[in-house]
Each structure stands twice: as structure tokens, then as C-alpha cells.
């Protein structure tokens, strides 16, 4: 039994290592997104290059997830946590997917940032949301490098607290947007960015919860 447990624990450590690589891809993608969102003075080639970088990172992330799903299917973790691990993989994959989606939305609506009201939201509230997401990803990455139950729970609590802050910012922005004179395209662009940032945070929080569940169950 102890030997079997060591085998499954070894499989989980390999999964954690690969997930750490995936989270690092999300961190790099977020950095690229934040750099573009920091200014409305970038030219089109600069924005296009940012999209290409994040697209390449997203595809690399997909390969990691496919490899991990195969490992889980082959019995890399104990059957009692298999479903939770698969949900965890989906959460982590969604983080990178949502960053990619946000970058695509930035590319589509970047010209709208000439509107001072829109860029004000991007450069303040959206920036704050993405800064908090950055912190959440750092804590998630730390969770993948520890097996200490108390440290895992502490990081998970911090991530949850940061997600609540993002929720509050989201609600405040939505209240603000409805009082602005925006056309339909401008309105949809800003709302899409805000909700996407919120979804990124939701998936980081869910990933932290499921990661803590898996590690403390094995």
C-alpha cells in the first residue's frame, strides 16, 4: 500500500511540475497583455506582435494540458482524486485561454481607446484587476511548489480574498459604465474586457481550491 501511495504521489509531483510550467506561461501572457494595456500609443505592429506571442504561449499551454490529461487517464493519480485533477487542469487551461481572449479583444477594440472615458477605465480599473490577477497567479505558483497543508490553505485564502477584491472592482466599473455615453461597440468592448478579467480571476481561485483538495487528499 505504501509503495502504491509513493507511485501515485510521484505522479502527482510530475503533474504539479508541469502545471507550474503552464502557470508560468499564463504569467508571461499576462505580462504581455499588461504591457499593451499600459498605453494607447502602441502602433498596430506592436499590438499584432503581442497577439502572436500570446497565441504561441496559449498553444504551448494546450500541449501541456493534453499531455497531463493523458497521464491522468493512464493512472498517474489515485482514482479518488482523478475527477478533481481533471477539473484542476481545466481551470488552469482556462486561465491562459481567457488571457488570450482578452488580448484578442484588445486588438479588436484598441482603436476605441482614443476615447478618454474608455482609456480611463483601461488604465485604472482594468489595470488594477490585472495587477490583482498577477498576484493571484504568483500565489498559485507558490502552491504548486509546496506540499505543506497549512501553507496551501493560507495561499488559497489569500487568492480568495484577492478574487473578492476583483469582484468589487468589477461591480464598481459596471456601475460607472452605465453612466457613460458610450455607443454599443464601445460599451461591449469595455464590458467584455472587464468580464474576461473577472473570469481569469475566477479560474485562478477555482484552481487554487482544487489544487489544495488534491494535494491534501493524497
78 pLDDT band, cuts 50/70/90, is: confident
Distance CA 174, CA 204 (A): 22
74 or 135: which carries more pLDDT confidence? Answer: 135
Alpha carbon 167 to its chain's center: 15
For the residues 5-19, what does the mean pLDDT come to?
A: 74
Q: Is the pLDDT reported for residue 8 higher than 60? A: no
For the residues 87-98, what does the mean pLDDT come to?
A: 98
pLDDT of residue 216: 85
Compute how many other C-beta atoms are within 10 angstroms of the C-beta atom of residue 166: 24
For the residues 208-214, what does the mean pLDDT come to?
A: 95
- pTM for this entry: 0.93
Task: Please list the alpha-helical segments (H only) found in 40-183.
Answer: 44-73, 82-109, 116-121, 127-143, 149-177
Q: Is the pLDDT reported for residue 5 higher than 60? A: no
Which cell numbers in the block locate residue 75? Answer: 493512472
Q: Is the pLDDT reported for residue 6 higher than 50? A: no
Distance CA 91, CA 100 (A): 14
Which cell numbers in the block locate residue 20? Answer: 507550474
| DSSP code per residue over 26-50 | HHHHHHHHHHHHT-S---HHHHHHH
pLDDT of residue 110: 96
Q: Is the pLDDT reported for residue 2 higher than 60? A: no
pLDDT of residue 181: 92
57 in Cβ contact with 161 (< 8 Å): no
| 116 phi-psi bin (left φ>0, alpha ψ -120 to 50, beta other) | alpha
Which cell numbers in the block locate residue 88? Answer: 484542476
Residue 213: its H or E element: helix 184-217
Distance CA 10, CA 17 (A): 11
pLDDT of residue 175: 93
pLDDT of residue 79: 84
Residues 149-190: pLDDT tens digits? 899 999 999 999 999 999 999 999 999 999 999 999 999 999
Q: Is the pLDDT reported for residue 90 higher than 70? A: yes
136 in Cβ contact with 99 (< 8 Å): no
Residue where the block lists cell 488571457? 99
Closest CA to 212 of 164, 153, 157: 153
pLDDT of residue 10: 61
Amino acid at each position: 500500500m505504501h509503495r502504491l501511495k509513493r507511485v501515485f504521489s510521484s505522479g502527482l509531483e510530475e503533474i504539479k511540475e508541469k502545471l507550474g510550467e503552464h502557470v508560468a506561461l499564463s504569467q508571461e501572457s499576462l505580462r504581455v497583455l499588461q504591457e499593451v494595456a499600459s498605453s494607447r500609443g502602441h502602433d498596430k505592429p506592436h499590438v499584432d506582435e503581442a497577439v502572436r506571442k500570446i497565441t504561441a504561449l496559449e498553444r504551448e499551454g494546450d500541449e501541456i494540458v493534453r499531455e497531463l490529461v493523458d497521464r491522468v487517464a493512464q493512472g498517474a493519480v489515485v482514482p479518488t482524486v482523478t475527477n478533481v485533477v481533471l477539473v484542476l487542469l481545466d481551470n488552469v487551461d482556462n486561465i491562459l485561454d481567457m488571457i488570450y481572449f482578452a488580448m484578442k479583444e484588445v486588438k479588436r477594440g484598441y482603436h476605441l481607446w482614443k476615447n478618454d472615458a474608455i482609456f480611463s477605465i483601461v488604465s485604472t480599473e482594468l489595470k488594477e484587476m490585472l495587477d490583482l490577477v498577477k498576484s493571484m497567479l504568483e500565489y498559485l505558483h507558490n502552491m504548486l511548489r509546496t506540499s505543506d497543508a497549512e501553507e496551501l490553505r493560507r495561499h488559497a485564502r489569500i487568492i480568495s480574498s484577492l478574487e473578492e477584491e476583483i469582484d468589487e472592482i468589477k461591480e464598481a466599473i459596471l456601475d460607472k459604465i452605465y453612466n457613460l455615453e458610450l455607443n454599443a461597440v464601445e460599451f461591449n468592448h469595455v464590458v467584455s474586457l472587464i468580464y474576461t478579467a473577472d473570469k481569469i480571476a475566477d479560474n485562478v481561485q477555482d484552481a487554487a481550491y482544487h489544487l489544495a483538495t488534491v494535494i491534501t487528499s493524497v
